[in-house]
Structure 1
Amino acid sequence: MDKTDYEYLVIGGGPAGLQMAYFLEKANKDYIVLERDGGVGSFFVRYPRHRKLISINKKFNYFPEKEYNLRHDWNSLLSDEEDLLFTNYTSELFPNADLLVKYMRDYAKKFNLNIRLNTTVTNIHRDPILKGKYRSLYTITEQNGMKYTCKVLLMATGAAMPDKPKIEGAELCDTYQKHSLDKKLYENKKVLILGGGNSAFEVADHISDSAALIHMCTRTPVIFSWDSHFVGDLRAVNNNILDMYHLKSLHALRQCDTKQFVKEEDGRFTQTFEMELPHWNPPGTATFTSKGYDSVILATGWKFINIDMFDESCKPETHTDGKFIVLDEHWETTVPDMFFIGTAMQSRDHKAASGFIHGFRYNIRTLFHMMDMRYDGGDLAKKIFPSIDATELANFMTHHVSISSALYQLGQGFLCDVLVLKPEEAAKSDCSEQMAGVAEYYYELPQAWVLKNDYFMNQAHMIIITIEDSHHMFPSTSATEFFKPGDMNPRDCKCTAFPQGVFYSYRCGKLEEVVHIGGSLVVRADKKIFVGDTNPDRFTNKLKNLFNRQIGIGSGDHYERLFPPEEWEKVYRPWTEEEVEMRKMKEIAMKSRKFECKLGILD
């Protein structure tokens, strides 16, 4: 308790702080975690307000590998303990948040993490260091005036404070953080909810059976997670209010820009808002007022930094109106040796899962390895192959992308694996699948960092491995249309709505080729993925052919089609020219239909 000087100091005892503390503890680093509340995981003691988590807790997934099952366990923290998983606490798909609090407190106790509770940080100061491996000495002051010092500061403060809208009269309204959960208070009332994200819809869903009229107002269109494939967009578990809207059950959603709230003498609210109307004649913007709201609830999200914690010596830069911190390719702020971890990591990632436990747990593991390399001479996580064997490498890579949870959750070019091939200049026999040399396989690196790293970009042969889907290439296709397999082109399977391994081959820093090995519902390339899948070797065959094209190893004629040649004609009948033309005419007719009613200028 008397020690106050540390190498690493973590502010925040939520899931991110605990995850980083686990790696620091395991590596016997000099660290401490400061938590302002009386127990870890305190955010989840209160939030979500209605207690149902929307992070999936899918315990039964058919396949046995722990790594694979973490793809569908969105609440567990990483550890070497096989049984310390959130799925062992409940089998409920969307559990109560109280269980997550219990899990995190068990986790902290199990690993004896060095955490000091009831410690509220009031000020952070930095003095520069001019020599040595560190560039900073941070002084952290807590509420009782006690001071801590550290060389590396890790901010794990999560959703630091509500993001208040800049609307006249907003201070008169209730908020997501403070609104009453007593449904009786909303019975037969007219309620306005400002916001279009999961928090706003969570509130609406909770009171939808008691309120007479609910009007939801959002400045931007609602984005559904099933369309964007981004877990932070509106989830189906929260969107009952839209079901009621379109089934004519009084509740409604309005896309508009709220300008003012006024509380009238009778205690009710009047809203003034602007609405763009491109489909009116002529197109324009209208100003409306809506009266008689018994309650207005602001559910407009969070800021992921409390800038007031930092004095002028170390205020980090922010963006998006102070909502997010500016972070570089390995989550360091504009202030040296200060990193943000946890949900704030989404500052660099609005496509994958960095803002959620099932994403940032892997970012934190990667950041730990990168800090260990930078400050203590450690190495990145990697596997060394003492020779270059096309079959061995292809089998390993195929299996790894089939079970990897990190690449699965943080694909779309955010986290990647890297294969570096270092062949010797020795003679080799023609068509041999082995070559003298070394192969280095690096795990879970930020792709943006790799593409700026001289070591990787100067290699003669490098392959970046990610897991991606290409739903964004179908802009006019509804999510409900993806009920068929994607493109099964043997050489280029990039048009699929299912995630798949994607391999980017570089030569001396120049991108030479991209190989999509093909997607599947279970996202495995090492197993037969459906009845009739008679050529599961096609995935490894694509990689063997890639090795042949890029470094001249092997024959390069491995078969890549879905079915072997002897089965192809039995299971697949190509359309005749007449059938193709009929389908084209049908699609042209659908696209050329003109409708009397529209919502846009060009509709």
Structure 2
Amino acid sequence: MGPSGLLVALALHLAVCSRPHRDYCVLGAGPAGLQMAAFLHRAGRDYEVFERESAPGSFFTRYPRHRKLISINKRHTGKANAEFNLRHDWNSLLSDDPHLLFRHYSQAYFPDASDMVRYLGDFARRLGLHVLYNTNITHVTLDKDPQAWNGHYFILTDQKGQVYQCSVLLVATGLAVPKLVDFPGSEYVEGYESVSVDPEDFVGQNVLILGHGNSAFETAENILGVTNFVHMLSRSRVRLSWATHYVGDVRAINNGLLDTYQLKSLDGLLESDLEYLALVKDSKGKFHVTLKFLLENNSSQSADSIPLPEDDNDNFAMRVAYDRVIRCLGWTFDFSIFDQSLRLSSGTEFSKKYPLIKASYESKGSRGLFILGTASHSVDYRKSAGGFIHGFRYTVRAVHRLLEHRHHGIPWPSTEYPITQLTSSIIRRVNEASGLYQMFSVLADIILLKEHQLLPHFPSSWNTLAPSMLSG
């Protein structure tokens, strides 16, 4: 090897050796990232949180757009038991500090999003969590090494080209990429993330909203009093949370348009698959909805010459022209920063929204990579509360306990009782435990009876990592 080759090899060696190394790297200082950081910090682990903004909870500085959270802040239950009260506190993270309960930050039943930003900032500061702010991780890949905990290190590169290395990667970036529509004329559609929130901008207008979820109804609620009418269009029927018992469905606080629709006051709910539609802009700047195949079969493609549908897909209400069309279709995971070697997505429709993970929240493609928070909801989608703070604070705790056992030999927390207290202990857990209450069908307790000592053994809130071992 010549002198130049030696210099290159030396430079590469120094670059690898100079990488800041952490046992644990956490991406994102939102609720899930801070919750994991709190557990790692309390356990004295070597960790770092990477946050692209200058403060925690940046998602809540922008969303929801109309600032009212749908996570309830029930400050009074008539009970003094802190564990029981967490069943009905949907915003607090888990810590040993009684000041870090969300009820100290807002008196509103449905709090303002700015209260969540303030709470998360205090959570990080009071606990002294290690967060690198203004650090945007733009690329993540693997570096195989048989000496590493999982047979490889995770290599993270930020916006300045700084490289970091860690043994375990905990991704808590949430679902941050707006779900887009792709049909002719979709360039005319405004996004929930950028459309005006000032009702005065909608006075006397006809508005079409794409979507039947909370963001769509929240947007409609904001402009109902000033528009001519609002139509809401989606391929699926409206699901109401009080009927489905799923917190992610439309909440009563947002569903004012259902009143005006059912009372025949011009507003409407429409159903059609968006991929079959097309949007055409006329000479007056108004938008007309038709079907894609009708647009494709018309050479002029002007609004006046393209026929409206006249078959089973016809909806007379949609023959009217709209002044605005707004997309409120939810969010997907940002896969763009992850190298394909991490194998986070299979390309199927569901995995375009959520990463591919096991029941343990570990990636199916990369050992040592865990998905936390909202993006982990694929494990219990529409079945439990894992996509929301009051659910994933417990699944994050389960992942931390798994890591403590796997890498540090710390057994899963448990309590031993005399056999005479078995029944009373079970009844107390049933009546008080918050993790099992919120993450039903996902978390469970296991009771182990010692053969000779007749002592029941209660591991606390095991995650369903081995379903055959769990009976409920």
Instruction: Please state how far the C-alpha of 1:416 moved relative to its aligned partner.
Output: 0.9
Amino acid at match of 2:461: E
Instruction: Please state how far the C-alpha of 1:376 moved relative to its aligned partner.
Output: 1.3
Amino acid at match of 2:374: T
Aligned pair 1:393/2:425, yes or no? no
TM-superposition CA deviations, 1:568-598 (whole Å, max 9, x none): xxxxxxxxxxxxxxxxxxxxxxxxxxxxxxx
Instruction: Please state how far the C-alpha of 1:90 moved relative to its aligned partner.
Output: 1.7
TM-superposition CA deviations, 1:271-323 (whole Å, max 9, x none): 1259xxxxxxxxx84345634100000000000x2111012322312441501
What residue number does 2:448 align with?
420
> For residues 68 and 273 of structure 1, what CA distance do their matches in structure 2 show?
53
User: Structure 1 length normalisation: TM-score?
Assistant: 0.69
Instruction: Please state how far the C-alpha of 1:115 moved relative to its aligned partner.
Output: 0.2
Provide the aligned C-alpha RMSD in A: 1.7
> For residues 375 and 285 of structure 1, what CA distance do their matches in structure 2 show?
60
What SS does the corresponding residue of 1:168 show, helix, strand or coil?
Answer: coil
Instruction: Please state how far the C-alpha of 1:214 moved relative to its aligned partner.
Output: 0.2
TM-superposition CA deviations, 1:490-538 (whole Å, max 9, x none): xxxxxxxxxxxxxxxxxxxxxxxxxxxxxxxxxxxxxxxxxxxxxxxxx
> For residues 91 and 356 of structure 2, what CA distance do their matches in structure 1 show?
26
What residue number does 2:329 align with?
300
Out of 241, 253, 263, the position equivalent to 2:257 is 241
Q: Is the 8 A contact 1:135 1:337 kept in 2?
A: no
Instruction: Please state how far the C-alpha of 1:270 moved relative to its aligned partner.
Output: 1.2
> For residues 132 and 238 of structure 1, what CA distance do their matches in structure 2 show?
49
Amino acid at match of 1:328: K
Amino acid at match of 2:319: S
What SS does the corresponding residue of 1:347 show, helix, strand or coil?
Answer: helix
> For residues 371 and 150 of structure 2, what CA distance do their matches in structure 1 show?
17
Q: 1:337 to 1:321 in 2, by over 3 A?
A: closer
What SS does the corresponding residue of 2:321 show, helix, strand or coil?
Answer: strand
What residue number does 2:136 align with?
120
Instruction: Please state how far the C-alpha of 1:86 moved relative to its aligned partner.
Output: 0.5
Instruction: Please state how far the C-alpha of 1:3 moved relative to its aligned partner.
Output: 7.7
Q: Is the 8 A contact 1:205 1:241 kept in 2?
A: yes
Out of 105, 114, 117, the position equivalent to 2:121 is 105
User: Structure 2 length normalisation: TM-score?
Assistant: 0.88
What residue number does 1:376 align with?
408
What residue number does 1:564 align with?
none
Greater strand percent: which structure?
Answer: 1
What residue number does 2:14 align with?
none
Amino acid at match of 1:394: T
What residue number does 1:366 align with?
398
The 4+ residue runs of structure 1 with deviation greater than 6 A are: none
Out of 46, 66, 69, the position equivalent to 2:85 is 69
> For residues 366 and 319 of structure 2, what CA distance do their matches in structure 1 show?
46
> For residues 262 and 114 of structure 1, what CA distance do their matches in structure 2 show?
51
Q: Is the 8 A contact 1:245 1:251 kept in 2?
A: yes
What residue number does 1:286 align with?
313
**Count of aligned pairs:** 429
> For residues 269 and 132 of structure 1, what CA distance do their matches in structure 2 show?
58
Instruction: Please state how far the C-alpha of 1:443 moved relative to its aligned partner.
Output: 1.4
Aligned pair 1:311/2:339, yes or no? yes
What residue number does 1:487 align with?
none
Amino acid at match of 1:77: L
What residue number does 2:386 align with?
354
> For residues 28 and 319 of structure 2, what CA distance do their matches in structure 1 show?
42
Aligned pair 1:253/2:269, yes or no? yes
Amino acid at match of 1:419: I
Q: Is the 8 A contact 1:53 1:95 kept in 2?
A: yes
Out of 341, 344, 352, the position equivalent to 1:322 is 352
Q: Is the 8 A contact 2:233 2:271 kept in 1?
A: yes
Aligned pair 1:79/2:95, yes or no? yes
Instruction: Please state how far the C-alpha of 1:4 moved relative to its aligned partner.
Output: 1.8
TM-superposition CA deviations, 1:424-477 (whole Å, max 9, x none): 2xxxxxxxxxxx423211111223x1325xxxx4xxxxx734xxxxxxxxxxxx
Greater helix percent: which structure?
Answer: 2
Out of 446, 451, 454, the position equivalent to 2:463 is 446
Amino acid at match of 1:25: H
TM-superposition CA deviations, 1:384-426 (whole Å, max 9, x none): 23x422xx11101101110111111111x111111111232xx
> For residues 379 and 290 of structure 1, what CA distance do their matches in structure 2 show?
65
How much identity, in percent, do the aligned residues show?
39
RCO comparison, higher one (Cα < 8 Å, 6+): 2
Instruction: Please state how far the C-alpha of 1:255 moved relative to its aligned partner.
Output: 1.4
Q: Is the 8 A contact 1:342 1:360 kept in 2?
A: yes
Out of 374, 397, 409, the position equivalent to 1:343 is 374
Amino acid at match of 1:349: D
The higher radius of gyration belongs to 1
Instruction: Please state how far the C-alpha of 1:136 moved relative to its aligned partner.
Output: 2.1
What residue number does 1:96 align with?
112
Out of 385, 392, 403, the position equivalent to 2:432 is 403
